[in-house]
Structure 1
């Protein structure tokens, strides 16, 4: 589409959060359809109905794009006050990242993280790491 021509009939030009959400949705659709190894910036751009240059203005490569999509899709870590049964020295970034790493791994290899799996990650992995 030339710079001064209007968008296709029935289509509006997306920008900001609307465009970013469409791109993130396209990333997950591509991950589901072709997997991480075969995901390409071209494939994501086509799925999101945008140009490849739009992606490269925001993300240097597919790794950055997938990481950004995951960061927007996953819940923010919750700060839990330390109770008497927890070891204060266990409150490290490495321990905190263990749960997120498990969720990202599961999302990439098996699909969305269910509430039940999230509970298992907390109960079976995180709590044993921090308990006295």
Structure 2
């Protein structure tokens, strides 16, 4: 590992510790809160849209959000580890079969909708039992017949 990679890795761990980044991918609806400076005032602005692209490149990672605002398509590219971003929140998860959803640019209305993913398929782990085995008996015990 060369010096540049080592520096980038250290920077990445520091940035990830400062503001945790949620797990999201293309097709998910994401709300990004970022600091905007207008003159001497500073305020928080929210941008909510569908993630159409994600580029994972260490410190230079970014993602693109697309939304329809007053009938016009608006896309914005956000650096993932930007200090201006105060929060990233996943609003809903979508089902898509592509990593880049640039085809949404040409679709309008209901055609541009993305189906919502059923609740995360992560189920709590539980013991698997074989058929005919009650919960009170373990596999090492006999059935009581001597």
TM-score in terms of structure 2 length: 0.20
Greater C-alpha Rg: 2
TM-score in terms of structure 1 length: 0.21
Which is helix-richer, 1 or 2? 1
Which is strand-richer, 1 or 2? 2
